[in-house]
Amino acid sequence: MVTYIPGSDLSHYYDSKHNREIVKTKAGEFFVTTHKFIIATVLGSCVAASIRDAQRSSAGMNHFMLPSAARPRMRRHSATVCSRWSR
C-alpha cells in the first residue's frame, strides 16, 4: 500500500548508502506506506508528525504548516525576537 495526497508530486529517489528508496514530503503533503521506504522531509517553520504501526508493517508522515495567525508578527531576521519565541 502506498498512499499520498492527490495532486502532489512527491519527490523520491534511490539512496545506495541505505539501499532504500527515499520519499520526501513537502509542506501540505502526507505519505503512508507498507513498503520499506525511508520517509524524509525538511522543516523550517513547519511541523511534521511520523507514525509507525509495527503490527501492520506500515508507516507514514504528515507535513503541515501552522497558520500564520497563530504566532505574533516577527521582524525578519531578528535573532532577539526569534529567540524569545523559541524558548
Instruction: Give the pLDDT confidence score for residue 78 in this predicted structure.
Output: 37
Question: Is residue 18's pLDDT more than 70?
Answer: yes
Measured CA to CA, the distance from residue 29 to residue 26 in angstroms comes to 6
Block residue for cell numbers 516577527: 74
Q: Are 16 and 45 in contact (CB under 8 A)?
A: no
Question: Is residue 85's pLDDT more than 50?
Answer: no
The pLDDT tens digits of the residues spanning 57-70 come to 999 999 887 776 54
Question: Is residue 72's pLDDT more than 80?
Answer: no
As for how many domains the chain has, the answer is 1
Q: Residue 68: give the domain boundaries.
A: 2-86
